[in-house]
Structure formats: C-alpha cells, structure tokens
C-alpha cells in the first residue's frame, strides 16, 4: 500500500481496522465518532460531546479546565480564586499561553495563581470559612475590582455553598465577586466548563455598565484567547480599518471592558464552541447580532473583513477594508509564496480543541498542505455539521446538568441594530448568527474523528504518515518518536502569533522550518538503511469494553 | 522562624503540586506498568501535560473518567471498564491505580473494587497496585514515595536472602538515575533500583514507538528486594510512613541506609561510603579523581561564591541537597524553602556544621508559596535563585537570575538530561551557580561601584 494513498478504499480499510480492535460495544460507540467525508452525501452525521470511554487515553480535560483555564482565566483584572486542593490551581497557572498586556494603571493578575489549598480537615469539616477568609486576604492585599471563584471536584461533593459566600463577600467589599460551580466531573469534557463560565459572565459582568456610550463601528471579539499574541494581530488589522473594539472575550480582555460589551454593534465569534452561548445570550437580551469569523488563514481573514464591512455597509469602512486588504496582502505575498514552495504537496493531521481543527485547514491549504484528518477534542455536533443541527441534538443527562441560562429582553437596552429586512438579506450573504461547521469545508475522502484517543492517534499516524501532526503537547511526543514533525496547535510551541496576515507568515515559516529541519535526515542510522516503520496496524487487541 | 506563608487561607503561586503527580512519576519507573487515575479525566490530562513538558516524552496516564453519575452512584463500573480497556489496549503487567480528590471524597474503596475486578475477570497474571493519593493529602513529594512504597508493599513477599542491594531513588532526573546505575556498575554489585525511569522518561529515538516504553524496574527485581542485603534509600526527607526502605526494614528486616541525593561533596562522600559499607568494596578509584577535580573547582570559585546569597526552593529532598552544597561552598542559603510540609528539613540542616559558623541565620520555611518566597527574597537581598521553573515568577519581576534545578523544569529544553549528581555533576552545578552569579555581577557592578564611590 502506498504511503500517500488516501483513496477512499484505503481510508475505509484503515477505519475498519481501527474499529475491529474494539469490542462490539466500544466499536459501535467509536464508529459513530468517525466519518470519512463523502461530498456526494447531503448530510453526514457524527457523534460528539458524549462521555469519554474510560481507560482509553483521551486528550480531553475537565469542566474546571474549560471554565477557569479557558474562558475566565485570561481576564487580566480578575483574581481567580480556585477553591479546592492545590493541584488544580497549580496545573492551570500560566499553562495556556493567553497573553495580556495591562494598560497604564490597570490591574494585572495573569501571573498569579490563587488557591484555597484545601487540606483534609477542610474536606471533612467544609471549606466555606476558608474560602471566606481567602477572599478577605485577597481583597486586603491585592485590592482587586473583580474576583471569580472556581470550584474543583471535592467542593461540590462536600456541599460548600460557594454562591452564598461570594454573594456575601460581594456585599461586604463592594466589588464584583461571583462563584462558578465548575467541578471537574461535570459534563463530559471542558465544554461544560465553557458554558458555565459563559453563564457567569452574562449574569454578573456583561451589561453592568449602562453609562458607556459606544463609538462608531464598535465590535466585541468573542472566543479569541490571545494565544501567542493572536488577538494583538487581529486587533491591529481591525483598528487599522477603523473598528473600535469594546471588549475582548477573553484573551487580553478585562472584566471592566466586558461590562460595556452590550453596547457594541456586532459580536465577532472566533471560537464557536467556547463562547457561542454568550453571543446568543447577548443577542437575545440586547439585540446585538453575531458574526462567525475566522482570522486564521489569509483567505479566511480577507473573507471575514469583507463580511464585517458588508454588515456595517458604510462607504468609509468598505473602502478602508479593501485598502487594508490590498496593503496587507502586498506585504506578505512574497514570504507566503516562498514558504508555499517549501511545503507544497505535504499532508497534515489536525486534532485540536473546538475550532482550530477547522480554522487551520484553510491556512494549511494556502501553503500547499492538505489536511487528511481532522477532529475536535470537545466539540458538539454543530461544530462539525453546522448550527442547523442544534434542534436535533439529543440532550443527555450529562448535558442537562449544565445550566442553560434563560435570558430575557432587556427593555432599557435592547435595540435593533439592523432592520429585520436587511438582516434577512445579510443572513444569505454572510455567516450572521450562523456557523456552517467544519465538515462542509473538508475534502472528499478526508477523515473526521471526534475525541481522538491515544491509541487511535498512534495507529493513524503509523498508517497515514502525515508530514505534519498538528495537536497538543500530550500527543506531540508520540508523533516525534515516530519521526514525524509535530506542531503544537494549542500553544504554538511557544511561538506565534499565527492569526491574521502577519501571523500567517509566522505560521508558514514555522511549518516550513519544521518540515525541513536537517534533523529528520539523520533518523535512520547509516548502517541501517531500511526504516523499520511498518504501514500496518501492529498490534490488534482482542477486545475493549465500554 | 518566619511565618510559613503571607496568607493563611490563600496560597498565592504554589510551590507544590498534588499527590497523584508524584505517583505518576513513580509508576513510570516500573517495567511494563501503567497508571490509571480514578477520578475526573482532568487530573490525568493535567498531569500528562505537565510531565510531557518536563520530560519531553509521551506520557500515558489513563483515567476512569468519572462523571457526575459516578459521583452519585460510585465509580466502580467506570474503574473496572477503564482497567479492562487499559489491559486490552496497552497490555501492562503492572497497573497502578491512584486515587484523586474526587475518589477519596466520595469514599471509593478501590482495594475492594480491584479485588472484585480480579475475581470477575479471572486475572491472575497481572498485578494491581492501589495507591491512595488524595490531592488534599499532601504534595507530589509524598505522593511519589507513597506510590513507590505501595509498589513494594504489593509486589514483595517473604523471600530467600540474596546478595543484591536495593536502591530507592527520589524524584531526580532520568540522567541522574543513569548516573547512579553507572556508580553501581563500578561497585560490581547486583541491585534493585526502584523506580527506574532512566529509560522510560528519557527514551532514545529509535524510529519505532512502543505503547509502553521499554525500561523500568522489573517485577523480579522488585520481588528480590524483600531478600536484599540492604536498602540504600536516597532520601533523608521522606517521612517514615511513606518510606519504602522503612517498609522493607520493618517487614523483611532489610537493613536500611538513608542518604541525600549525591549532589554536593559531602552528599557524594556519604553515598559512596554507604555503598562501600553495604557492598564491602573499596570506593572505586575513578571517584577519588573526580572528587579531587570537584575540590579544585570549589577552590577556584570560593571567592565568588561567598558573594552569593541564594534562595532555594522545591521538593524537600532536592532543597536539602542543594542547601548542603551551598553551605559547603560558602554560598549563603539565605532562604531555604519548600511547599511541602516537613519539619525534617529544618532539623537536618541544623545538624550541618557550617550552620553554626554563619554570620547570618538562613530562613528555613516549609508549606510555603511563591508569593511568600518572593517577599523573603526581597527582604533577604537574595541575588541567586536555585529551584524549579516556577521561580521564574520572581526572575521576571525582580530580575534575580534562576538556576533551574528540580521538578519541574518546563520552560527550558533538556530537563530530563540535567545531571547534577556525582562529583562531576555537582561540579557542573556549582560552576553554573557561580557563573550565573558572575554573569549578573559583571553586567551591573561597574555601575554599582561607580554609584557607590565616585558619584
């Protein structure tokens, strides 16, 4: 079998072999989480956001990771007190590269980790008193304007009432203090934690400043976490065109700017999975529409900028958009062409969280790399298939446990940003309040796998031998041990930014460098010319149980 | 004695991790073994992530992926299914099952669940080692020793005496474990080194990838430990309750020798002396030369070393070794600190002779955090930090250079290869300390002297 044979027959064969290794029950379960893209089919369905098979080494994290680590953590001016034993607070301390730069006079708690460091006696006798004291200590020393409390596993089990502790403290100190019950075991992945954090920001922060008057062309950036400085590049482009960014959610963002978010004219949604709840709730409560954007890749960035211009439909913005696009493209054309020459014809796997597995496909394509396998760690069906499937998604017990916050129209602040008629027309032209999902953009014969596990990763790399394995640090070294270039798509291997125009060049350069590093040519010792890497599933276990 | 922490209820920038992290490292040192964490999957994911960044190796830690349902009805079904899947897909011969905050809080009886599981599945060819490691119980330091001790408790039984010696290693680097094995080779002695992660956590590139990396203490070596001639436990700080050597001594009467990590002159002298005692062999010639070179180096750098005011932090064992080395080199360990709770650090250091001759008494604190360490670093006018990567929190703010040492070193390449053990490794460590200090001195001292005397 040819290494680079990605015919449908070969792919089907590969998947069958993978599934064959599992027993009937797990095989059936995992099969529903995989599909081979068939463009002739109108609809292809995938299973997602269901419980992880225990014992199969997943890359998924927990509810706390999604709430504290992803959504709330990047807010610079917020003291995040992790209520629980020490580990969880330590592990989420500066681990996600959400960068932030405070403005003159602003508070910055990004370099800090705050924990109540619960001990055995707190588990036995309850930790409320300790939490109360910890808040007091944080207020006295750090004098923050905002405190969020995130709970870890034992807190929910021992029944600490963190919400009332937060409410009392809020009254006592006259600052914003709220609690999130994001115990690790809730939901099926970090996704539940995103939702919980979205709810908390909506309840306690967004819309709390009604005195704010938004300038013209005002927008919020949602679901952009400023990993490696992505938000800085995006903001550079948007400001150059003339947009005014009111709030960033949440990379390089502040709680204080979130208070004004309801006054912006448009919400941009970059990572759909982690923040679509806020976009939806703001729309319902304040009338602000949202636009699915993608600032990863040159074409995607251009399209997004044009979509935004269409939305504002203002001669100044329209012409400025085209000017900026022209200027930026001119600036990077030569570099991108150079790197494309180095990368053309290569293949990639993309297994990332809840958006990047989709977003980066376009950028790969622009430098000549084809994505042959893509999957999300914690996405829902709508991230794969598009939002139109939302009404058909079954709600199971795990998801029911995550509150769906019911917001109502705010009579004082609700406004119609664009008239219904124009809106209807716009919805036909741009992804307004809509996300079409990842699958639609994927090529015939490419593989889509949800919650790719350790075992499947190994086998698929072994068989499909991609040139680039784009994933995270936990599976990076598997690929590297197999002699395959691995790119960390969560933290960018401590590089970046990769968003926008200049970011695309950074990415192209890093990928070209990774593919062409001289090291790869020394992997086979001179005395052993034949590589021993076999193109077969090397070990087929008899059965695996769910 | 200063307060341990600035705040009693708030830990700001922790100088410690949780118990399961230590257990995960220990199980990586057992041949054909895997660990499954009974709890939320986040625990496994976080630990894998942090270990991968330190060791630059794939890290497999399975999880029972408990969900809300499991917290209500108990996690037995998840644990059993998790074990089944681990066995089918990875085929480990030894499986460690460590608990988490969640499993402990809901009161899971993992011993019983595992017994049931073995019976139900009729599994007699595999070994299961349950370890209780609640995140709130202690830190990764105790979790590590707790796991090593449980591995020995579960896998050994009364056996015939043999000629081997047991070496219990603490959480040092894979390169340092390889060094210790080199030393043992020099002594031509049969040994049972537990846990041995020298290959598993620093595997050579081989163009092939096996699901469980080769290497680790073998089952037969662990079994042999019960009849060994002696145990050399490279830890003076582990509490008796979690000490594997104490267990072997209590249960099988294996004589126990405890020493520090062989970092620093005295620690190496002690280590070699113990090895000579238990093997009945002279100290090999090679070490006399290496000792001589280290002394030469110590003499070369003593003038600069006396200007160093160090803050040392990390796990108790590594902190103790580094403190001793500083003391013997005239480096003032102005602050000696650990996030773990231990009274031994203080009591052991007080026995150190140099402590009596210092013009300034070092501050020794346990159960502390980096916010407190940073404040003391300022108060004590510290000019060199020695410890794990989290010390960069202070470097970034106050510009005091950090020599990376201990666990984790996750913001630099090659942590698995750091080798400060032995006379040679210690010499390299000492030179690094001196040179890091000199680097700072030479970039600032002209200005400082000018400001002090000429202006």
> Is A490 designated active site?
no
- Range of lowest pLDDT (A11-15, A384-388, B197-201): A11-15
B residues 1..20 contacting A (CB < 8 A): 6-14, 16-18, 20
B22 touches chain A (CB under 8 A): no
pLDDT at site B5? 84
Cα angle A304-A310-A312, degrees, rounded to a multiple of 5: 105
Question: pLDDT band at residue B448, thresholds of 50, 70 and 90?
Answer: confident
Please state, rounded to an integer, the average pLDDT across all residues of chain B.
96
E strand or H helix that includes residue A372: strand A369-376
Pair B323, B215: CB distance under 8 Å: no
| Ranges A93-97, A343-347, A515-519: which has the least confidence | A93-97
Task: Say whether B207 and A62 touch across the interface (CB within 8 A).
Answer: no
Residues of B in contact with A544 (CB under 8 A): 84-85, 88-89
Q: Hey, how many other C-beta atoms are within 10 angstroms of the C-beta on B241?
A: 11
Record: contact A54-B53, CB cut-off 8 A: no
Q: How many residues does chain A have?
A: 546
CB–CB contact B16 A86 (8 Å): yes
d(CA A429, CA B184): 74
Task: Enumerate the residues of chain B whose CB falls inside 8 A of the CB of residue A477.
Answer: 52, 56-59
Residue from A37, A97, A194, A462 carrying the catalytic annotation: A194
From the list A52, A119, A481, the residue facing B41 with the nearest CB is A52
Q: Is A76 a catalytic residue?
A: no
Write out the two tokens for A361. 């496909």
Q: How close, in Å, is residue A89 to chain B by CA atoms?
A: 8
Q: Is B20's CB within 8 Å of A87's CB?
A: yes
pLDDT in tens, A210-266: 999 999 999 999 999 999 999 999 999 999 999 999 999 999 999 999 999 999 999
Instruction: Supply the angle between the helices A454-464 and A473-481 in degrees, to the nearest 10.
Output: 40
**For chain B, what is the radius of gyration of the CA atoms?**
23
Determine whether A96 is an active site residue: yes
Is A523 within 8 Å of B208 when comparing Cβ atoms? Answer: no
Q: What does the alpha-carbon distance between residue B447 and residue B285 come to, in Å, rounded to a whole number?
A: 48
Residues of A in contact with B105 (CB under 8 A): 123, 153-154, 157-158
Contact B105 A154 (CB under 8 A): yes
Half-sphere CA count of B428, side-chain side, radius 13 A: 11
d(CA A462, CA A466): 9
| CB contacts, 8 Å: B67 with chain A | 51, 185-188, 398
pLDDT at residue B153 is higher than 70: yes
**pLDDT at A534 (0 to 100):** 52
Rg (CA), chain A: 24
- Total beta-carbon pairs less than 8 A apart between chain A and chain B: 260
- What pLDDT does residue A536 have? 53
Q: How far is CA B254 from CA A253, B180, B257, in A?
A: 60, 21, 10
Q: Please tell me the predicted confidence (pLDDT) of residue A532.
A: 53
CA-based nearest residue to B377, from B409, B319, B336, B431: B336
In this prediction, residue A126 carries a pLDDT of 97
Give the lowest-confidence range in A67-76, A516-525, B404-413.
Answer: A516-525
- Cβ of B207 within 8 Å of Cβ of A51? The answer is no
Q: How far apart are CA B299 and CA B303, in angstroms?
A: 8
Q: How far apart are CA A159 and CA B356, in angstroms?
A: 51
- Chain A residues inside the 8 Å CB shell of B6: 141
Q: Residue B312: helix, strand or coil by DSSP?
A: strand
Q: What pLDDT score does A446 carry?
A: 94
DSSP letter, residue A205 = T
Write the CB contacts of A531 (distance below 8 Å, at least 6 apart in sequence). Answer: A523, A524, B207
- Cβ pair B60:A57 closer than 8 A: yes
B443 band by pLDDT with thresholds 50, 70 and 90: confident
C-beta separation of B146 from B24 below 8 A: no
Q: How far is CA A324 from CA A232, A239, A313, B148, B311, in A?
A: 16, 10, 16, 62, 52
Distance from CA of B40 to the nearest CA of A (A): 5
- Among A22, A80, A90, which would you mutate to test the B interface (most chain B Cβ atoms within 10 Å of its Cβ)? A90
| pLDDT above 90 coverage of chain A, percent | 88
- Put simply, the chain B residues between 229 and 268 with a CB less than 8 A from any chain A CB are none
Chain A residues closer than 8 Å to B14 by CB = 86, 89-90, 93, 113, 115, 117
CB atoms within 10 A of CB B428: 17
A169-173, A458-462, B316-320: which has the minimum mean pLDDT?
A458-462
Count CA atoms closer than 13 A to B115's CA, side-chain side. Answer: 5
Contact A68, B46 (CB under 8 A): no
Q: Would an 8 Å CB–CB cutoff place B113 in contact with chain A?
A: no
pLDDT at A179 over 90: yes
DSSP codes joined into one string, A210-229: -S----SSEEEEEEE--BTT
- Position A7 scores a pLDDT of 78
* Cβ contacts of A221 within 8 Å, gap of 6 or more: A231, A234, A235, A238, A245, A247, A248, A249, A268, A270
**Residue B65 · residue A529 · CB < 8 Å:** no
Cβ of B205 within 8 Å of Cβ of A523? The answer is yes
Tokens linked to A213: 């008057």
pLDDT of residue A430: 98
Residue whose C-alpha is closest to residue B10's, from A336, A201, A137: A137
Check: CB of residue B355 under 8 Å from CB of residue B364.
no
How far is A414 from B255, CA to CA, in rounded Å?
A: 78
pLDDT tens readout for residues B96-127: 999 999 999 999 999 999 999 999 999 989 99
Pure H helices in A93-145? 120-125, 128-142
Burial class (CB in 10 A: 0-12, 13-18, 19+), A136: middle
B 195-214 → A contacts, CB under 8 A:
203, 205-209, 211
Considering only CB atoms, B60 lies closest to which of A186, A454, A523, namely A454
- Cα–Cα separations (whole angstroms), residue B17 to A31, B13, B240, B318, B321: 38, 11, 21, 15, 20
Q: Which of B136, B203, B208 is facing A119, going by the closest CB pair?
A: B136
B21–A531 CB contact, under 8 Å: no
CB atoms within 10 A of CB A342: 16
Question: What is the per-residue pLDDT for B1?
Answer: 46
> Which residue among B48, B67, B68 places its CB closest to the CB of A474?
B48
Which of A51, A87, A461, A525 is the best mutation test for B, with the most CBs of B within 10 A? A87
The one catalytic residue in A33, A76, A83, A96 is: A96
Average pLDDT, chain A: 94
Query: Which tokens sit at A105?
Result: 């006079």
Residue A347 DSSP one-character state:
E
Which structure tokens are listed for A322?
A: 């085209």
Which residue on chain A is closest to B107 by alpha carbon? A157
How close is the nearest chain B Cα to the Cα of A107, in Å? 15
Calculate mean pLDDT across residues B256-266.
98
| pLDDT at residue B59 greater than cutoff 90 | yes
Instruction: Give the DSSP H or E segment for A376.
Output: strand A369-376
For B17-57, write each residue's pLDDT tens digit: 999 999 999 999 999 999 999 999 999 999 999 999 999 99
Is residue A397 very low, low, confident or very high in pLDDT (cuts 50, 70, 90)?
A: confident
A123-146 average pLDDT score:
97
Contacts of B397 in chain A (CB under 8 A): 111
Is A194 annotated as catalytic?
yes
Cis before A497? omega within 30: yes
Contacts of A63 in chain B (CB under 8 A): 40, 42
Range of lowest pLDDT (A13-22, A434-443, A457-466, B416-425): A13-22
User: Which chain A positions have a beta carbon within 8 Å of B205's beta carbon?
Assistant: 481, 483, 523
Mark yes or no for CB contact B85/A186 under 8 Å. Answer: no
pLDDT, tens digit (0-9, with 9 covering 90-100), for A43-66: 999 999 999 999 999 999 999 999
In A, which residues are within 8 Å of B104 by CB distance? 123
Q: Could you give the 3-state DSSP secondary structure of residue A492? A: helix
Catalytic residue among A65, A182, A247, A300: A65
d(CA B19, CA B136): 8
Of A92, A153, A454, the CB nearest to B40: A153
pLDDT of residue A535: 53
Q: Is the pLDDT at A2 greater than 50, yes or no?
A: no
Whole-number Å distance between alpha carbons of B1 and B125: 53
Q: Enter the tokens of residue A200.
A: 């908390």
DSSP B333: E
Half-sphere exposure of A406 (CA within 13 A, CB side): 0
Phi and psi based region of residue B207 (left: phi greater than 0; alpha: psi -120 to 50; beta: remaining): left
**Which range (A126-130, A353-357, A442-446, B100-104) has the least confidence?**
A353-357
Residue showing tokens 């990586």: B28
Residue B365, burial from CB neighbour count under 10 angstroms (0-12, 13-18, 19+):
buried
Q: pLDDT higher for B403 or B8? A: B403
d(CA A386, CA A209): 34
Cis amide leading into B408 (omega within 30): yes
Q: Which domains does chain A have, with CATH numbers?
A: 63-186 (3.40.50.1980)
pLDDT in tens, B81-92: 999 999 999 999
Helix, strand, or coil (residue B212): coil
Output the CA–CA distances (angstroms, integers) from residue B33 to B30, B121, B137, B217, in the order listed. 6, 19, 24, 10
Q: Which two tokens stand for residue B52?
A: 């991968």
**Which of A21-25, A337-341, B363-367, B429-433 is least confident?**
A21-25
Q: Summarize pLDDT for B189-214 with one digit per residue, the tens.
A: 999 999 999 999 999 998 777 889 99
Contact of A131 with A122, CB cutoff 8 Å = no
**β-pair partners for B231:** B166, B256
- Find the Cα–Cα–Cα–Cα dihedral A495, A501, A504, A510, rounded to 10°: -50
Q: Give yes or no for a contact between A176 and A147, defined as CB atoms under 8 angstroms apart.
A: yes
| Interchain contact, A55 vs B86, CB within 8 Å | yes
Using the Cβ of B139 and the Cβ atoms of chain A, whether some distance falls under 8 Å is answered with yes
- Residue A382 tokens, joined: 């709508």
Contacts of B52 in chain A (CB under 8 A): 473-474, 476-477
**Which chain B residue has the Cα nearest residue A544?**
B85
Of the candidates B81, B134, B207, the beta carbon closest to that of A54 is on: B81
- Which two tokens mark B40? 């939320």
Please indicate if any CB of chain A lies within 8 Å of the CB of B74: no
Cβ atoms of B81 and A546 closer than 8 Å: yes
DSSP three-state, residue B173: coil
| Percent of chain B with pLDDT strictly greater than 90 | 92
B positions 86-105 inside 8 Å of A (CB): 86, 88-89, 91, 100-102, 104-105
The residues facing A292 across adjacent strands are: A269
Chain A residues in contact with B91 by the CB 8 A cut-off are: 541
């Amino acid at each position: 079998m040819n290494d680079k044979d990605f015919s449908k027959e070969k792919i089907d064969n590969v998947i069958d072999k993978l599934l064959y290794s599992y027993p009937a029950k797990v095989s059936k379960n995992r099969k529903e989480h995989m599909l081979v893209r068939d463009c002739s089919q109108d609809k292809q369905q995938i299973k997602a956001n269901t419980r992880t098979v225990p014992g199969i080494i997943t890359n998924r994290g927990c509810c706390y990771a999604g709430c504290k680590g992803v959504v709330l953590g990047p807010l610079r001016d917020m003291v995040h007190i992790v209520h629980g034993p020490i580990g969880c607070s330590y592990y989420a301390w500066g681990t996600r590269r959400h960068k932030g730069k405070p403005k003159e006079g602003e508070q910055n708690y990004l370099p800090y980790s705050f924990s109540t460091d619960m001990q055995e006696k707190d588990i036995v006798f309850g930790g409320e008193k300790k939490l109360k004291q910890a808040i007091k200590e944080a207020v006295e020393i750090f004098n923050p304007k905002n405190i969020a409390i995130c709970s870890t596993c034992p807190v929910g089990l021992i029944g600490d009432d963190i919400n009332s502790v937060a409410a009392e403290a809020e009254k006592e100190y006259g600052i914003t203090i709220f609690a999130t019950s994001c115990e690790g075991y809730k939901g099926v992945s970090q996704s539940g934690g995103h939702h919980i954090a979205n709810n908390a920001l909506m309840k306690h922060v967004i819309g709390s400043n009604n005195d704010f008057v938004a300038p013209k062309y005002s927008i919020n950036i949602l679901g952009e976490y400023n990993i490696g400085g992505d938000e800085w590049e995006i903001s550079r482009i948007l400001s150059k065109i003339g947009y005014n960014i009111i709030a960033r959610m949440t990379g390089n963002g502040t709680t204080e700017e979130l208070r004004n978010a309801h006054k912006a004219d448009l919400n941009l949604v970059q990572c759909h999975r982690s923040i679509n709840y806020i976009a939806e709730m703001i729309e319902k409560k304040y009338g602000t529409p949202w636009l699915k954007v993608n600032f990863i890749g040159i074409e995607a960035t251009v399209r997004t900028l044009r979509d935004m211009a269409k939305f504002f439909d203002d001669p100044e913005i329209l012409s400025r958009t085209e000017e900026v696009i022209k200027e930026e493209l001119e600036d990077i054309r030569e570099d991108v062409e150079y790197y494309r020459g180095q990368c053309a014809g290569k293949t990639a796997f993309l297994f990332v969280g809840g958006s990047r597995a989709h977003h980066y496909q376009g950028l790969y394509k622009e430098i000549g790399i084809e994505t042959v396998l893509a999957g999300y760690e914690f996405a829902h069906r709508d991230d794969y298939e598009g939002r139109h499937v939302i009404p058909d998604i079954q709600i199971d017990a795990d998801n029911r446990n995550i509150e769906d916050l019911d917001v109502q129209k705010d009579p004082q602040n609700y406004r119609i940003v664009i008239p219904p008629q124009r809106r209807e027309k716009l919805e036909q032209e741009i992804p307004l309040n809509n996300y079409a999902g990842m699958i639609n953009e994927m090529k015939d014969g490419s593989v889509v796998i949800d919650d790719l596990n350790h075992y499947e990763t190994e086998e698929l790399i072994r068989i499909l031998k991609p040139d680039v394995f784009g994933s995270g640090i936990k599976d990076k070294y598997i690929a590297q041990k197999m002699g395959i270039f691995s790119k960390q798509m969560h933290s960018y291997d401590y590089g970046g930014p990769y968003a926008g125009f200049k970011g695309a060049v950074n990415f192209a350069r890093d990928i070209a460098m990774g593919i062409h590093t001289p090291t790869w040519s020394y992997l086979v010792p001179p005395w052993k010319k034949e590589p021993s890497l076999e193109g077969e599933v090397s070990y087929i276990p008899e059965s695996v149980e769910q | 004695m200063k307060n341990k922490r600035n705040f009693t209820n708030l830990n700001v920038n922790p100088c410690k991790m949780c118990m399961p992290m230590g257990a995960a490292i220990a199980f990586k040192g057992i041949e054909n073994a895997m660990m499954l964490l009974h709890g939320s999957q986040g625990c496994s994911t976080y630990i894998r992530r942090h270990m991968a960044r330190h060791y630059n190796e794939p890290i497999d830690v399975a999880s029972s992926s408990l969900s809300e349902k499991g917290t209500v009805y108990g996690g037995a079904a998840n644990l059993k299914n998790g074990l089944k899947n681990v066995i089918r897909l990875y085929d480990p011969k030894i499986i460690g099952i460590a608990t988490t905050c969640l499993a402990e809080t809901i009161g899971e009886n993992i011993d019983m669940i595992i017994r049931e599981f073995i019976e139900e599945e009729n599994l007699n060819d595999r070994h299961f080692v349950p370890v209780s490691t609640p995140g709130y119980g202690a830190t990764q330091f105790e979790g590590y020793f707790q796991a090593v001790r449980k591995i020995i408790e579960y896998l050994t039984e009364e056996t015939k005496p043999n000629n081997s010696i047991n070496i219990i290693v603490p959480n040092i680097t894979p390169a340092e474990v390889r060094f210790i094995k080199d030393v043992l080779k020099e002594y031509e002695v049969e040994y049972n080194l537990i846990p041995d992660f020298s290959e598993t956590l620093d595997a050579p590139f081989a163009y092939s990838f096996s699901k469980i990396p080769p290497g680790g203490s073998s089952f037969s070596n662990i079994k042999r430990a019960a009849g060994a001639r002696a145990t050399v436990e490279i830890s003076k700080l582990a509490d008796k309750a979690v000490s594997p050597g104490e267990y072997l001594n209590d249960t099988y009467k294996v004589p126990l020798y405890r020493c520090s990590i062989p970092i620093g002159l005295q620690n190496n002298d002690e280590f070699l002396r113990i090895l000579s005692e238990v093997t009945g062999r002279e100290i090999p010639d090679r070490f006399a030369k290496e000792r001589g070179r280290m002394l030469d180096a110590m003499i070369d750098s003593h003038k600069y070393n006396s200007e160093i005011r160090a803050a040392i932090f990390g796990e108790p064992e590594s902190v103790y070794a580094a403190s001793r080395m500083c003391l013997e080199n005239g480096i003032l360990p102005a602050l000696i600190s650990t996030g773990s709770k231990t009274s031994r650090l203080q009591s052991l250091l007080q026995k150190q002779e140099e402590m009596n001759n210092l013009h300034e008494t070092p501050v020794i604190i346990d159960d502390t955090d980096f916010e407190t360490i940073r404040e003391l670093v300022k108060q004590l006018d510290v000019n060199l930090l020695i410890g794990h990567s989290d010390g960069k929190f202070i470097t970034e703010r106050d510009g005091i250079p950090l020599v990376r040492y201990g666990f984790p070193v996750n913001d630099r390449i090659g942590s698995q290869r750091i080798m400060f053990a032995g006379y040679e490794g210690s010499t390299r460590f000492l030179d690094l300390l001196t040179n890091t200090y000199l680097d700072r001195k030479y970039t600032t001292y002209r200005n400082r002297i000018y400001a002090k005397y000429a202006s």
